[in-house]
Structure 1
Amino acid sequence: MRFFSRCFPGNAGPFGKQVFSHRQFFLIQALTSHASMAYPTSVINAFDNSQDSSTETALILIRHGESLWNEKNLFTGCVDVPLTKRGVEEAIEAGKRISYIPVDIIYTSALIRAQMTAMLAMTQHRHKKVPIIIHNESEQAQTWTGIFSEETKKQSIPVITAWQLNERMYGELQGFNKRETAERVGKEQVHEWRRSYDVRPPGGESLEMCSQRAVAYFKDCIEPQLKSGKHVMVAAHANSLRSIIKYLDRLTSQEVISLELSTGIPLLYIYKDGTFIKRGSPVGPTEAGVYAYTKSLALYRQKLDEMSH
């Protein structure tokens, strides 16, 4: 049940014990074994690109666009606030930058700013598939969100939300202005809370703690999708993505604390033969070099261009 509870969370809160009904258990079992039981299993299977293990697959990482609390310079953490107008524009621009890169399945955090970013980005994709959030939180949610048209399923992309990809929880700092907090308790103390690897803010998580949950989820749930031949997009947060990049690039705890991620800028990795190859950030929808990094990406772009004519 460890894989099931990590990859397909139900009703329990972030740190709660996971409990499944019999129906949920068998639904999850079918989902992970590629059975064709019912939605969401059928939606995911509709995009089963399973290929030889040596095939290259794409991994796109996107930090959410600017949020309303980013704009106000507040500690946000796990508080669930939406994007600003600028954040919406950043998400759309990110979508243009990845519009020719294949996406078979999307993972986001449980927070609205990451989900908005993923959805807005996909409105720009040349394939025109529709991202659809999978609801496993109850038996009724599974039933009511079912898709019964096979043709529609083929034109959809499953979106899985996971609290493990949430931003680092900033504890008692959440909601406070960063500048004012630095003036009150000292810049050095705030810098230590924000940039140390293993120091926790009061009542919150250290980057190390955030890394443990985010990387464990990536290894258990996302990496197997890449190995099976699926192209994956992850929309999450500065610290959960820094944690994943630490794992992908094999950074030290000192190297990761200086890693900066801009809002709304996608990063591209290629997964092949158990290795992650960093390709940087796609510069724009017409930047041919990004798509010529690998033969498979170049062929995918050519196919999309042919479909549009």
Structure 2
Amino acid sequence: MPTLILLRHGQSQWNLEDKFTGWVDVDLTPQGEVEAAKGGALIKAAGLAIDTCFTSVLTRAIRTSWLALWGAGQTFVPEIKDWRLNERHYGGLTGLNKTETAAKHGADQVKIWRRSYDIPPPEMAPDSAFDFSRDRRYAGAVLPRTESLKTTLERVQPYWEGEIAPRLAAGQTVLVAAHGNSLRAIVKLLFAVADDAIVGVEIPTGNPLVVELDRALKPTAARYLDADRAQALPSLG
């Protein structure tokens, strides 16, 4: 039966520095490297044989996929990268310190920008140092200037339906090594999580979430491989 493994990247340098990262291409910290490799070791211990790996075009997710596949003893697995699995675009908040931003705009406003389902942060300025339109990874793509979780899902869903779901429908075991919000979008789609409930779903870094699916790609079981760092999962319905 199809099996999906969702793996949030390990701690990044800007996670450590408490900055809004979004699409900025920062690397893993040493702790993040350990988390990613441990995630792979847990996959190996669970006896999961991966057929295909998907990841974003951001270094922290790509290196997490590499380290996880290495830890699982499966570095030979084909890997597909696509920007539509990128983290949520944080718009004008990109690069800002989260604590300093809360002090400037108020904790309530920042909470709305960070945690609401459909209210995005302010748009990124056209002259921003983080203008991704000049990055060749996105050549020819129409890029957002900010995103809510809702618009992140709208970006992820066609890729999920067109590229990832068909592999699962063919009975594969698929690893998706990506980001907190792009993975939450997939969780929302799979588990039909309500808009007001998905904002409370947390996915820990480096902890593989294994979702077993039926032939219609409906979840039949789900578990984190590191039970000590598990978070609450949506109901299977």
- The question of a shared fold, defined as TM-score above 0.5 by the shorter chain, is answered with yes
Q: Does 2:191 align with 1:191?
A: no
Task: Give deviations 1:179-231, integer Å, cap 9, x for gaps.
Answer: 00000010011000001111010111111000111122111110100111211
C-alpha RMSD over aligned residues:
1.1
- Aligned to 2:187, the other structure's residue is in SS state helix
Question: Which residues of 2 match residues 1-309 of structure 1 at below 5 A?
Answer: 56-99=1-44, 100-125=47-72, 128-130=73-75, 156-203=76-123, 204-274=146-216, 275-283=218-226
Q: Give the fraction of aligned pairs with identical amino acids, expressed as a percent.
A: 42
Q: Which has the larger radius of gyration?
A: 1
Structure 2: how far apart are the matches of 1:278 and 1:246?
Answer: 15
| 1:214–1:240 contact (8 Å) kept in structure 2 | yes
The question of whether the paired residues in 1 share the 8 Å contact of 2:50 and 2:74 is answered with no
Task: Using structure 1 for the length normalisation, give the TM-score.
Answer: 0.64
The number of residue pairs the alignment matches comes to 202
* TM-score between both structures, scaled by the size of structure 2: 0.83
The CA distance in 2 between the partners of 1:252 and 1:219, in whole Å, is 19
CA distance in 1: counterparts of 2:81 and 2:17, whole angstroms: 26
Counterpart of 1:153 in structure 2 is none
**How far apart are 1:276 and its partner, in Å?**
2.0
Question: What secondary structure is seen at the aligned counterpart in 2 of 1:59?
Answer: strand
The residue type paired with residue 257 of structure 1 is V
If asked which structure has higher relative contact order (CA below 8 Å, sep 6+), I would say 2
8 Å Cα contact 1:58/1:102 also seen in 2: no
User: 5+ residue gaps in structure 2?
Assistant: 124-145, 228-237
Report the counterpart of residue 144 of structure 1 in structure 2: none
Q: Gaps spanning 5+ residues in structure 1: where?
A: 1-55, 131-155, 285-309
